[in-house]
Amino acid sequence: MNRSILLLSLLFLPLFTLGQEVSELSKETAVAEALEKNFGIVIARNELEIADANSSILNSRFLPIISATAGFNYSNEDQEVTFRNGEVNAVNGAETERYNAALNLNYTLFDGLGRWYDYKRFKEQYNLSELQVRQTIETTLLQLFTVYFEVARLRENVTVLEQTYSNTQDRLTRVQYQFDYGQVNKLEVLNAEVDLVTDSINLINGRQLLRNAKRDLTVVLNSELEREFTVDTAVAFLNPVRMEDYYEQAPENNVDLLIAQSNIQVSDYSYKAAKSVYLPTLNLNGSYGWNEGQFPVTSFATSSTSTGLSVGLSLNWNLFDGGTGITNVKTARILKENQEIFEKQLIVELSRNLANARGNYRNSLEIYRLQRKNVLTAQDNYERSAERYKLGQISSVELRLAQINLLNSQTNRNLAKYQAKLAELELLQLSGQLLNVEF
């Protein structure tokens, strides 16, 4: 074998063994790992736990406040007491001791319905948090598949580049033998060597891009950075009839629109709760206590003990609080109106985004269909050109052109395939069905 061929073979042989995968990361496994460990999803679930705690009856102010108190007081004083009959009683170091303990209850019977609407607001905020978790999951899954399909595309591109490199290497071997036997000139050998170096560089760059994309995927999965894996390159598209049904149902299922509607409900409860400032507050107070005192001789009694229950009602009506309550009510009403305006804006934008997404999806599918057909044409052209090249009917330049056309058609097909699938996923997300289909 020619020295240059041997040198190139030894130089690029490691490329075929570099980065060998040990396991396949399926789409289902990738989704499961993202749902379990993705940072954004974990944070969103923690926020949901906070909303759940806030919506509990324990945070509603519907339960009474029960407290226990106890105390002790001691005094040591010099006292002088003059009675009505003129008798004077003086004591130095008169000691007084008082003890008390009580169990107290405070309960708001009525507060103008403020706590009732606050409680309903907390419940609605929990529903809102659930929708926000769903929104985070949908966004993360779309990000996941964007990176996952990029890895798959680059993996298929590397396979194409490896095949291109192998074909060019075979061509270099053939023309080297032909040159040794005087059948071709040196120019054919040099052209093949240049093309082999070009294909080698393309392969090196392709593999580096693949490694980078894999690291991007491990970040989304919150996984080991240098994890070795391969991905599933098979892509299946949903039935067009089902996609049309999802499209028609989008206004009822789109998560952004559902969040906007939930925000309107939260604002409505806040507005109603703010208006409770116009109504009175009725409180119930109760106490069961024990009191004991030890008194000096200057007192009428030497000791006293009392045990008993006390109950009381108090009504408080804030007729004017300086304008703070009125201002809060106006602000809450405006905030509610803003949420309603935002919903209308979102409906208009959703209609546009859905129409664009459906158009992009149909366009991407058609491009993918044409690119697949183009690959068949380019493959047939390359095979015919290779046969004609062996018979000496075309030059190496013409064969190289057919080879490049095949390479470009294959990489364009790979790009079109995954772009079409991502367009489908984006349409599913807008339709609110991304979590309801198999990937």
Check residue 408 and give its pLDDT. Answer: 97
Instruction: Decide if 164 contacts 54 (C-beta within 8 A).
Output: no
What is the distance of C-alpha 158 from the center of its chain? 31
Encode 346-413 in three state secondary structure: HHHHHHHHHHHHHHHHHHHHHHHHHHHHHHHHHHHHHHHHHHHHHCCCCCHHHHHHHHHHHHHHHHHH
Do 188 and 175 touch, CB atoms closer than 8 A? yes
**Model pTM score:** 0.86
Length of the chain: 439
Helix or strand holding residue 310 (H, E) = strand 303-316
pLDDT tens column, 67-117:
999 999 988 877 777 766 777 777 787 788 889 999 999 999 999 999 999
Q: How much is the pLDDT for 298?
A: 63
Per-position b or e across 299-313, b if 16+ CB within 10 A of its CB: beeeeeeeeeeeeee
Q: What parts of the chain have a pLDDT lower than 50?
A: 1-21
pLDDT of 306 reads 87
pLDDT at 39: 94
Taking CA atoms, 40 is separated from 31, 134, 262, 322, in Å, by 14, 11, 22, 44
The helix/strand/coil state of 100 is: strand
Nearest-10 Cα torsion for 220, 223, 224, 229: -80
Write the single-letter amino acid at 387. E
Let me know: does 70 contact 91? Beta carbons within 8 Å: no
Q: How far apart are CA 37 and CA 426, in angstroms?
A: 23
Which pair of tokens denotes residue 365?
């599918």
Question: Buried b vs exposed e over 351-379: b needs ≥16 C-beta within 10 Å?
Answer: eebbeebbebbeebbebbeebeebbeebe
pLDDT of residue 372: 97
